[in-house]
Structure 1
Amino acid sequence: MSKALRRLGFLTIGLFDESEPRRGHESVLEIIELGERLGFDSAWVRHRHLQYGISSPVAVLAAAAQRTERIELGTAVIPLGWENPLRLAEDLATVDVLSGGRLNPGVSAGAPKNRFRRALYPDTADVEDFGFDRVRRLLSHLRGDPVTGFRGTEGFEEYSDRVQPHAPGLASRLWYGGGSLRSVRLAGEHGMNLLTSNVVRAEESEDFGAIQRSHIRAFRAHHADGERARVSQGLVVIPTDSATPEQRAKYEAYVRRRTPRTATPQGPERLLFAPDLLGTSARIAEQLHAHPAFREVDEVAFALPFTFEHADYVQILTDIATRLGPELGWRAG
């Protein structure tokens, strides 16, 4: 039996027109402000490099922190192969301090695509370690562990031996975006929280719900908090309760185009995609209550479709907060 939904969040990619990027970024900020007014517990932004989506989510969330007061702000997810963990820790801690402790950074390990590596690391691409050690370093920095052997005064300058500002509690709000058994086990062993999305690796079977449930259980089995370890599920849901006929037709076409990829694992990594959930809130709630992985969690960050218009996101978020959330047992705080 499903648990009552305790925390309701949403995820957006923040697409923009190359000739007018400000409008797309402003749309994201307006959507986050709307999410707070509707009572959502969290808002998350995706990370896209050399594309027409948010390339600097930490900067966007710094702006969102100044336009909101309560809603938690997350990244889903920052690929650490593009980052220096010490510098990223400084940025994350700064935004967490500015937001009053509302930041929930989500990260992942892994190498950047080959065509990007030389641009990122022109002198060191062949010797960079893109594995989980980058996550360990980030965790250590956020916890306040020393990063140098010196603390004190040098000339007129005062130096700390740990990342500044230090944001107490931020390390406990670090999430890992995991889609394989190995990644979720590592996240659990390091005491992180787990973001599980609409993509998993088909290692055990070709049943998406069963695989995702297995990942959640493996994560908790390796986490010191066991069954209390936090997991957030992020499926694409598109409620149509208040949609216009034109919006419904657009949404149906979107789902129809994407559905074939959910039939079998894709590519050499055997990535398996979850079907998008489209329909009335009552119908989507019925599907979620029957979903093996949803029955394991009590918090979600539902993903907004990539290519819709601002008005579509307003309708979808409003239906999620006012209709789907209550169908799942959620109540705005």
Structure 2
Amino acid sequence: MPAPGAPLKKLGFLTIGLFDRDRPVEGHTSTLEIIELGERLGFDSAWLRHRHLQYGISSPIAVMAAASQRTSRIELGTAVTPLAWENPLRLAEDLATVDLLSGGRINPGISVGEPMRWESVRSSLYPDTSDAEDFSYTRAERLIRLISGEPAWGFSGKDGIVEEFSERVEPHSPGLRERLWYGAGSLRSAQWAGSAGLNLLTSSVVLVPPEQRHEGEAPDFAQIQAEQIRAFLAQHPLGERARVSQGLVVIPTDSATDAQREKYRRYVEERTPRTLTPQGPRGFLPAKDLLGTSEQIAAALYAHAGFREVEEVAFALPFSFSHEDYVQILTDIAEHLGPALGWHPRRA
């Protein structure tokens, strides 16, 4: 999308699905209602974050299964599922099952690397095998092969009178492999995703290369993200035709109340300092939240080097807002921001 006038092809949203510790069903129900609203508004996709040992969705596959039975058209994805917490064979079974039940609407997004707070969680997650676990790209490659239908073991056929076995993961969903995404935040991970033939999910966080970290100077998030996207496309077998989705936080205020506008302003103000300097030894840099009218946000996006490299987005809903806030934000995105970007809603 090089300039205003080139239409945005696909519009989605991403939610963390927060819930109260003592009333978890309300938060999960709210998430399902938000996905239903997204379909009515014409969004192309709804994506779920993956949160373990927190008050956010820990089992997005289960939530996608529930959402698939409440909707008929909207695509459902994860952004992203950290494979360090998963057994690739069991995950392949679950994803294929939900994909078939949804009518082929599942878009699994994955990532690799050590689990968050690994030293604290390793004894609970892998009490007997923590030193042997492989959290590299090899884990993702196993999942890709299994979802593709390659042999999972060396046996197939009958065993006894009733038991019949398959050499591959069952059920098999033929189109699921083409809808696998990788969540990349570094140049290396973007290049690997391209070489693996996956789709690319960029997010509101990048890893700033050491050579671009200069004291007192804010790195250019948009330029770093654009470089990662171009590196992905250069490695992908489909080249420029490969799919890339961007996931910035946008908060349109077109129909917001005065109280909501003030709440959103404070939220962005509190989060902005973390976007000015790379965080931690790996150089994590969050993107700035985009707050304002849809017209203002559209102008900011067209000026964003990363956005100019994509044709589809999955805008992230802010953390910790109320159900009513999400309804207002999603409605404004669908009715104001999306059209300002040349997007047209899809209807059932």
| TM-based fold match above 0.5 | yes
Q: Which residue does the alignment assign to 2:310?
A: 297
1:133 and 2:138 correspond: yes
For structure 1, the 5+ residue unaligned runs are none
1:221 and 2:234 correspond: yes
Q: In the TM superposition, what whole-angstrom CA distance separates every residue of 1:98-151 from its partner, at most 9, and x where no partner exists?
A: 000000000000011221112111011011111111100000011000011111
Q: Which residue does the alignment assign to 1:145?
A: 150
Q: Which residue does the alignment assign to 2:339?
A: 326
For 1:141 and 1:169, the matched residues in 2 are separated by: 13
Q: 2:168 aligns with which of 158, 162, 173?
A: 162
Q: In the TM superposition, what whole-angstrom CA distance separates every residue of 1:154-182 from its partner, at most 9, and x where no partner exists?
A: 01201001011000110110000000011
Q: Which residue does the alignment assign to 1:253?
A: 266
1:23 and 2:36 correspond: no
Q: Which residue does the alignment assign to 2:216?
A: none
Q: 1:8 aligns with which of 4, 8, 11?
A: 11
TM superposition shift of 1:188:
0.4
For 1:195 and 1:103, the matched residues in 2 are separated by: 15
For 2:21 and 2:275, the matched residues in 1 are separated by: 30
Q: Which residue does the alignment assign to 2:94?
A: 91
Q: Which residue does the alignment assign to 1:199?
A: 205
1:54 and 2:60 correspond: no
Amino acid at match of 2:84: G
Moved more, 195-204 or 243-252: 195-204
Number of positions where the alignment pairs a residue of Structure 1 with one of Structure 2: 333
For 2:110 and 2:123, the matched residues in 1 are separated by: 22
1:80 and 2:83 correspond: yes
Q: Which residue does the alignment assign to 1:272?
A: 285
Moved more, 109-118 or 301-310: 109-118
Q: Which residue does the alignment assign to 1:208?
A: 221
For 1:142 and 1:88, the matched residues in 2 are separated by: 9
Amino acid at match of 1:207: D
Amino acid at match of 1:267: G
For structure 2, the 5+ residue unaligned runs are 213-218
Q: Which residue does the alignment assign to 1:117?
A: 122
Name the Cα RMSD after superposition: 0.7
Q: Which residue does the alignment assign to 1:231?
A: 244
